[in-house]
Structure 1
């Protein structure tokens, strides 16, 4: 039976993937966005009802949740997460929304050194008081990091992860998980799902997989955490974001991001993308940036 679903952060990676999956399955999707732009226009063209609002604006979120059966909450690594979670929960209860799927992170815990990770843990505990069903998702690092942190001028990944390991998960696979839970929330009530890609690798092995797929050398260059922080600051990233990334780098080295499981396959019926498949899916990005550097 078609459902009416709210996707917050709908122009982001997981929100856009969840929206596309739900629309493909015949559901009605209301997409909450901050502004109209090309990404929002594409959502509308695909069939989503696009509404503009901020997760800190209770009136806007109340309007966005009216008539909604289930909602997806995601929030960027920036201050304000706990207020956003509380605002969505209050609006959802006022409008009798039955379920919330919350995007948290694998490093979320009470004693996390990262301010953002600790706030994710607190937001989870706030949402646990929701009158409907709640499901928390805790992904390891996204495969999209391989795009964000690939240095196109040197074809290097300069990251502070030493030889620790994780199984990168693509946002499109997370979107399929989100959609599956929103379609049938009850079996997932109260669950916390760690989300992983299919194969656990260190970054030397990730670079080798990228090299095989792209047909040109990609190299992982381990760097120190202080050097990583300095590079982030040089790029003008906000202190909250820098503090988070440097703190989770320590977590990563300590194995917090490691592991694999079968959650993606179990909930969606399909295996998550391997690193090779993800790189192939995004080959146009890597090839386009490589060619732009050639005379």
Structure 2
């Protein structure tokens, strides 16, 4: 019986963690990567079959889907193209008899939302819903990894600068999302047709997150709230040439302040069989980036 799964984003965070767990479960994995490089070579050395191709190339995606039972779809938030890529992915799955798709959306995905990226994720969900291949949508809240964008400021000034006001959310790690992806890919039938909002282990505001950094790093770390225009200036300096991403992040700031990312449930623990990592756990694991 063929149970091979296809993982996109295998050289990234959620896909990489999903692959690691799937291999631990002795489930064969094929990874679709944009290019062959040292990262894909590392996956190959782990026993992963590598397929090279772009998610915006229907023929490449369809070829990667051959003899696949279930497939994971993730598309970068840094670039436009998710709607086309989702349509190609769904069509390729249909052509190859794929039995299940796990789609990484986001908690902010909605018809009426400021972020173009979040709205496009919502449209992509609807495209997958229209396809005859069963799909499970995962909608994680903000990743703990977002604080890597602030690592330089935390390291040099012991401060981080965000336009999120007093917004509260439950940061989730890409590791826990990857484990959830693997759990569903391994046994997709119970999750078919469902949408899961995924949260970390604790709801925190920015000041409370600064306190967690302070405790773990053993030095005072401060959250500095800034206005949107100042934040846009910072983003343009560090992420030039990414207007789609900049629009998403700045719109997300207002959505956070409006409470759109707030929430909590036990789904992650139910899916992966353990509590999701706390913010302190994430900082400890990545301490070298902040000191």
Tell me if TM exceeds 0.5.
yes
- In the alignment, does 2:17 pair up with 1:17? yes
User: How far does residue 2 in structure 1 lie from its aligned partner after superposition?
Assistant: 7.5
Q: Which residue of 2 aligns with 1:247?
A: 251
> Which residue in the other structure is 2:223 paired with?
220
Separation in 1 of the partners of 2:161 and 2:80?
27
1:262, distance to aligned residue in structure 2 (A): 0.4
Q: TM-score, normalised by structure 2?
A: 0.96
Aligned twin of 1:99: 100
Which residue of the partner structure matches residue 173 of structure 2?
Answer: 170
Shift of residue 37 of structure 1? 2.1
| Cα offset, 1:186, TM superposition | 1.1
Identify which of 284, 288, 293 aligns with 2:288: 284
Q: Which residue in 2 is equivalent to 1:73?
A: 73
TM-fit CA distance, 1:153:
1.7
| CA drift at 1:113 | 1.2
SS of residue paired to 1:149: helix
Matched position secondary structure for 2:132? coil
Task: Give matches, 1:136-147, under 5 Å.
Answer: 136-147=137-148
Question: TM-score scaled to structure 1, two decimals?
Answer: 0.95
Q: Bigger CA drift: 212-221 or 96-105?
A: 212-221
- Please tell me whether residue 58 in structure 1 is matched to residue 58 in structure 2: yes
Deviation readout 1:69-89 (Å, 9 max, x if unpaired): 000000011111000000011
| Conserved? CA contact 1:105–1:138, under 8 Å | yes
Q: RMSD across aligned C-alpha pairs, in angstroms?
A: 1.2
What is the total number of aligned residue pairs between the two structures? Answer: 287
CA distance, structure 1, for counterparts of residue 198 and residue 173 of structure 2 = 10
Unaligned runs of 5+ in 2: none
- 2: distance between equivalents of 1:246 and 1:121? 18
Aligned-pair CA distance for 1:259:
1.2
Residues 235-255 of structure 1, C-alpha deviation per residue, up to 9 Å, x if partnerless?
Answer: 215111111111111100001
Task: Find the aligned partners of 2:118 and 2:289 in 1 and give their Cα distance.
Answer: 30
2:130 corresponds in structure 1 to 129
Alignment match of 1:203 (pick from 199, 203, 206): 206
Segment drifting more, 231-240 vs 252-261:
231-240
SS of residue in 1 equivalent to 2:112: coil
Map 1:78-93; keep pairs closer than 5 Å: 78-93=79-94
Q: Who is 2:260 aligned against?
A: 256
1:269 and 2:273 matched: yes
State the Cα distance separating 1:3 from its structure 2 match: 2.2
Distance 1:125 1:15 in 2: 22
Q: How far apart are residue 282 of structure 1 and its match?
A: 1.1
Match in the other structure for 2:159: 156
CA distance in structure 1 between the partners assigned to 2:37 and 2:104 by the alignment: 24
Distance in 2 separating the partners of 1:3 and 1:207:
44
Moved over 6 A (4+): none
| Mapped contact 1:2–1:26 kept (Cα < 8 A) | no
**3-state DSSP class of the match of 1:153?**
helix
Cα distance in 1 for partners of 2:159, 2:11 equals 28
Tell me what 1:293 maps to: none
**1:20 and 1:205 mapped to 2: Cα distance?**
32
Distance apart, 1:281 and its partner CA: 1.1
Structure 1 unaligned regions, length at least 5: 291-295
Deviations 1:11-53, CA, capped at 9 Å, x for gaps? 1110111111101110101011111222212211111111110
Whether the aligned pair in 1 keeps the contact of 2:2 and 2:69 (CA below 8 Å) is no
